[in-house]
Structure 1
Amino acid sequence: MKAGHAAIRGVIVDLDGTMLDTVPDFHVAINRMRADFGLDAISHERIEQLVGKGSENLIRGVLAIDFDGAGVEQRISDAMAAYQRHYLAINGDHSALYDGVLAGLDAMKSMGLRMACVTNKPIAFAAPLLEKKGLASYFEVVYGGECLPRKKPDPMPLLQVCADFALPPGQVVAIGDSSNDAEAARAAGCFVLTVPYGYNHGQPVHEIESDGIVESLLQAATLISSHNHTAN
């Protein structure tokens, strides 16, 4: 965020890799799905590199470890059904909040910021997960990957939130852990802050063009507050 710009009035927060470490959930559900297909378990690290572009992309990547393109297409429907069944059975059981998430959200709420969660995770997974982890009440709006015709890195979900809040994109900041979040925010005209502890498809977060790297959502809230005190 830059001096002289308008005050921030809205915040759009990513879910996986930003508020919650959900790879342990993915790890359990994916390996149960692989066992259904007679495939060996894969590592936490391998799954982490595939997270962030939606469930279908994740499962395609998992199948591509063992099958060629035709083999993936032959199995994707059954694999998705198996994965969704296993994931819903354990959704949130193995995931954990990152440090500073609740304190950061509390600080943003106390500042009167409008708050939305935009994730590429299916809403059928995202909504109960937010409830289970005590996060749902912070957000006026939640969009999952299939809620709109296009998902991040397309700017559509972020622009929809701006419209929902009746705010220009220049008064909204997106907070995420990956290039998907940054590209969507840049295209929408929003500010973007990135956290260094998420997934980002195995690429260093420092390679993402953003308005700053924040160590936690609490630090993000502090930065927004400082910006707003000096904004025009």
Structure 2
Amino acid sequence: MKATCAPENALQAVLLDLDGTLLDTLPDLAAAANAMRRELGMPELAYELIGTFIGKGVDNLVRRTLSGQLTTEAIPEDDFNRARSVFYRHYTELNGQACTFYPGVLEGIKAFAGMGIRLGVVTNKPTVFTLPLLERTGLAEHMSVVVCGDTCERRKPDPDQFLLACNKLSAAPAATLAIGDSINDALAARAAGCTVLAVPYGYNEGEPVGNLPVDGIVESIMEASVWASNRFTGRFTASGTTG
């Protein structure tokens, strides 16, 4: 399937964020973060606070968890490396154990698949955590491409991951819908040239999504599929025909 064959205003692909968009991974991430703090002799943090630390990759999560706040002071490299190693060990054990799907995710995925639209995940989560999580939750079978936080030299909010995903799917960015929950998703997808939707239930560093530079805010992935069917007049199917 070549992007140049697309009819005007066709939808070729949907790229989805993972944490805070498809899955509520806070229970596992917070448990690992607090296990790290306990092992380092530090008191636990509230889950809600740790939720505001999510979105810019594991290294940022570790730094913020160490400092206990969004804005982190310089942390000695040896201290950070030790904390990172401890977090990785705990999260490797906990990854996928307590996370849950947000309402409408599976229904929305099925709806997009029914349109013949190929799906992908674009996440700042490292590959070592992303692929096992997709397998454990059953999401892997629905995704035609997965681009992780360590796949490209630059990650969200830079556009590289979205551009790579579009390339792998032979989809034009202008014919691609990106769905996420944070400013990082919005900025990256917008810079790549995608249409962008936000969901309001994710993390976004504790800030509301109302001011994000997006084309719309939807309550669920299922609602996103309805929005897309109204917005895009032509749709590629897996066989390359349009509907």
Provide the residue aligned with 1:170 in structure 2.
174
Q: Which amino acid aligns with 2:199?
A: V
Which whole-Å CA distance do the structure 1 matches of 2:173 and 2:27 have between them? Answer: 34
Which whole-Å CA distance do the structure 2 matches of 1:47 and 1:79 have between them? Answer: 15
Instruction: Decide which structure has greater helix share.
Output: 1
Q: Which amino acid aligns with 1:152?
A: K
Provide the residue aligned with 1:58 in structure 2.
61
Q: 1:101-180, aligned counterparts within 5 Å?
A: 101-180=105-184
SS of aligned partner of 1:142: strand
Q: CA RMSD in A?
A: 1.8
Contact 1:60–1:72 (Cα < 8 Å) also in 2: no
SS of aligned partner of 2:177: strand
Question: Within the alignment, does 1:20 sit opposite 2:26 as a pair?
Answer: no
Cα displacement (A) at 1:223: 1.2
Superposed CA offset, 1:17-75 (max 9, x none): 00000111111101111111000000011101110000001101111239x84544331
2:212 to 197, 208, 211: 208
Which whole-Å CA distance do the structure 1 matches of 2:152 and 2:233 have between them? Answer: 35
Provide the residue aligned with 1:225 in structure 2.
229
Cα displacement (A) at 1:229: 3.3
TM-score, structure 2 length as denominator?
0.89
Which whole-Å CA distance do the structure 1 matches of 2:43 and 2:197 have between them? Answer: 38
Provide the residue aligned with 2:10 in structure 1.
7
State the identity %. 44
Q: Which amino acid aligns with 1:14?
A: D
**Deviant stretches of 4+, over 6 Å:** none
Contact 1:64–1:72 (Cα < 8 Å) also in 2: no
Contact 1:119–1:145 (Cα < 8 Å) also in 2: yes
Question: Within the alignment, does 1:92 sit opposite 2:105 as a pair?
Answer: no
Stretches of structure 1 that go unaligned for 5 or more consecutive residues are none
